[in-house]
Structure 1
């Protein structure tokens, strides 16, 4: 296994992108982001404050009473909460999926709106004491995300200190596990991250086998087959599902790159996911295209202002007015973040 392959496995294992799940819109250009640490610190503090405030005074509304972001309209996420006979919350992976489902929209809507939406799902699905337990779990999950964004496990493959690539990977995985255990009890940890730990252990074993110089190619093949047999059925199905989605994305990208029609894309998605999911993705494509067009139009008008003979103060005022005229309140912060990241300047 070469250095690039090991690096890709490391990224898969540690899943660095989730370290700043609801900060990702501001980290799309890493070089720009590292020069704006103050801006990111402000965003984290806003998230921390919103999380604390809404935990102390949660919304009393149900999800049907709250405004969903455009990207989630038409998508009915079935919250799969489980409770015991005494109506206590039973942690399961579906709860983490629900949290991440809404947190993925950060940048499109404010973090306090996202937290309220998740609380709305909880309000409509649970009664006490499970309701309060779910709200507390949500609070800790977002606190964990913030902490992970600030102190993510070391991902460097630099081995100048004498440590091997495998040792670096194991160390990073251990640090991630330790951080998670600071926020979740054993039942929560197992339900949220248990299968992920199993997959990571499997991937580490793959690296160990592939990089063992004492094994022949045939011995490596046999040991890898043995390792595959140890994976639980649920994890095998999840890996297969991820691979199918990845193949579908590649297929759609290829069709679009070759100038294929939206009907061709829809047919491919329909065959893989069904009509309802294909329709939802088509709607999302249209929304993204409209957003891109609006952003491009704004970028052109902004450039005209920047290239004008106005004073710096007048330019700033004109751009503020332009943003207010073209974008609603939730979109304005997203546009300003894109501007701060320098993405408009590269268009």
Structure 2
């Protein structure tokens, strides 16, 4: 009995640490990544034009009407509330012949407008982006950018279906409480195959090379952390060796700042378990990863506490629906509606794994 309880405890701790690790890597990642593809292209286009630099999203009349049609001139009319007053992220770059130069910044521009999905429907966002491109970009670059935007929209829909087939990978664990790196590798192969079906090689490199570098790093760090043949000193040496072999640049500099993530993860878990104050956590994190990252992690703490509170409320309401209906199957439609009302799409994907962790923790406590 004690051995089973110890095993469950190990699994719970490992799951929590690994989930935190994945989150830390994401939060320590800079907002944008300059890719070598973009750098090389810009270096060969001395007079390249960058559109939307310094623009700020404004709104003549705040719009929450999802029936807004394609009556856009600049694409910036009646901006959704969440984007009002924000700087427009991303860029459209053209060369001397008005040909589009595809960069990671073009993807960020698409993501900027797509972040309002829900406030505006898909048709409105498509019309807005097309108008923005046509207003700020000459032909033939404009048509090229619009074509890639539609390819990107199709890719995101297919990616969402693919992600759903794999579930929440960071919460799928072996009996030792480790991430299944083979499953992650298979998912990456499927994602790469999807990209090749959606884009040409140049667009894939421009859009995703920076993201892939971060995912390579994340997988390598988790692999080192899960290697039971390495002691703490050897793990640290392996992490440093991996980073030292990366090409010089901003990405490598950022990874060097993250080199203490193992200690950061462990100390964060320990300090929280001991009831450390927010100030003490911030001081520890600032010493390891700098003030900016420490501030982002403090924000993450607030978000996680908010999610915990909403999850506990959801669990109570869900059980009440089941009790009233007589079974989970009969209450499923109401449960689905409850989830949609209380959580966004990303959060809903966490619910099953989060509930399992809580169940295991409760069983261990009993």
User: 2:96 is matched with which residue?
Assistant: 85
For residues 248-282 of structure 1, the C-alpha deviation after alignment (integer angstroms, 9 at most, x for no partner) is: 355568899xxxxxxxxxxxxxxxxxxxxxxxxxx
1:162-181 equivalences under 5 Å are: 165-181=180-196
How many residue pairs get matched?
A: 221
Check the 8 A contact 1:122/1:134 in 2, yes or no: yes
Q: Which moved more, 1:232-241 or 1:164-173?
A: 232-241
Distance in structure 2 (CA, Å) of the matches to 1:70 and 1:338: 25
Distance in structure 2 (CA, Å) of the matches to 1:133 and 1:69: 26
Alignment RMSD (CA, Å): 3.9
Check the 8 A contact 2:102/2:203 in 1, yes or no: yes
Q: Note the residue ranges of structure 1 that are not aligned, 5 or more in a row.
A: 16-49, 257-336
Q: Note the residue ranges of structure 2 that are not aligned, 5 or more in a row.
A: 1-12, 28-65, 259-288, 304-335, 344-366
1:7-156 equivalences under 5 Å are: 7-8=19-20, 61-64=73-76, 66-77=77-88, 79-152=90-163, 154=166, 155-156=168-169
TM-score by length of 1: 0.53
The Cα shift of 1:121 comes to 2.2
- The structure that is helix-richer by fraction is 1
The Cα shift of 1:109 comes to 1.5
Distance in structure 2 (CA, Å) of the matches to 1:164 and 1:342: 31
Q: Which moved more, 1:237-246 or 1:186-195?
A: 237-246
Distance in structure 2 (CA, Å) of the matches to 1:214 and 1:252: 35
Whether 1:247 and 2:294 are equivalent positions in the alignment is yes
For residues 111-137 of structure 1, the C-alpha deviation after alignment (integer angstroms, 9 at most, x for no partner) is: 222112222221122111111000000
Whether 1:6 and 2:18 are equivalent positions in the alignment is yes
Q: Which moved more, 1:240-249 or 1:163-172?
A: 240-249
TM-score by length of 2: 0.51
Cα 1:191–1:13 change in 2 (3 A) is farther
For residues 140-184 of structure 1, the C-alpha deviation after alignment (integer angstroms, 9 at most, x for no partner) is: 111111112223262442559xx9712122222222222222111
